[in-house]
Structure 1
């Protein structure tokens, strides 16, 4: 059965200290790390706090089979900041690559999942975070990588 959650793209871990976390992973041989490449502007962008979203810092490492993202949510209020404050460091979301961002978002909504945040670029790339914390223990995200 094919679902919108077939192809794991990344695991996002929220941390207190991004540089410290990167240094630890590097000491284990995980890396190289690079800044998350925030691509072109969104034609649709709905997040709980746009200033907090822009202030978040991410580092990524591409492994053979999946990407690890480390997220420092900053001090402004956001779902990631609240997660860190209430649960501590850990996996905030799993990101799944989809061939069609819009169709995957529609399918998630059809399945009854609420949306925390979403963004779409003119080229059809973008993301949608589903509020699956109560059922899955974490957030599930679908994303379409920019060409």
Structure 2
């Protein structure tokens, strides 16, 4: 791991952009035979400091999380706020947006290393950072500052 730019191989989340998070949540719960988790409006109160393409944004988004045995599956419905989520839906439609790696206490340090590697930081909040790696990897990478 010493030579790893990411500093981890721990994938903790896969996230999909959808047009209707309530429908996606309900259908995935039906598929799995589990209760549907709550859908939340993240950052509705503006408590998270969100930056997209170097500019501040409200960064509100509707989310649901399925806690699987080995990782979290996240469904994301963008709002009209400028974000990577809205841009993704507008340009590509629904689909896999990112895979997330646990980067506890090293999120911004790791994001800087990834930028030097050619994956620039495109959006970040207090506990997450997205880097643009789509051209090389087919997906955005997220760094999560979580336990």
TM-score by length of 1: 0.79
Q: 2:83 aligns with which of 73, 78, 102?
A: 78
Secondary structure at 2:118's aligned position in 1? Answer: coil
Provide the alpha-carbon RMSD of the alignment.
2.6
Note the alpha carbon deviations across 1:12-37, whole angstroms, 9 max, x for none: 10001111111101111255424469
CA distance in 2, matches of 1:58, 1:23: 13
For structure 2, the 5+ residue unaligned runs are: none
User: Does structure 1 conserve the Cα–Cα contact (< 8 Å) formed by 2:128 and 2:145?
Assistant: yes
Note the alpha carbon deviations across 1:95-124, whole angstroms, 9 max, x for none: 11013223312221232221101233xxxx
CA distance in 2, matches of 1:96, 1:36: 22
Query: Structure 2 matches for 1:45-56, cutoff 5 A?
Result: 45-48=50-53, 50-51=57-58, 53-54=59-60, 56=61
1:83 Cα offset (Å): 1.6
Q: 1:110 aligns with which of 116, 119, 124?
A: 116
Count of residue pairs brought into register by the alignment: 138
Alignment CA distance shift 1:24-1:64 (3 Å): same
CA distance in 1, matches of 2:99, 2:35: 19
Which residue does 1:9 correspond to in 2?
12
TM-score by length of 2: 0.79
CA distance in 1, matches of 2:12, 2:42: 16
Which residue does 2:27 correspond to in 1?
24
User: Does structure 2 conserve the Cα–Cα contact (< 8 Å) formed by 1:36 and 1:60?
Assistant: no
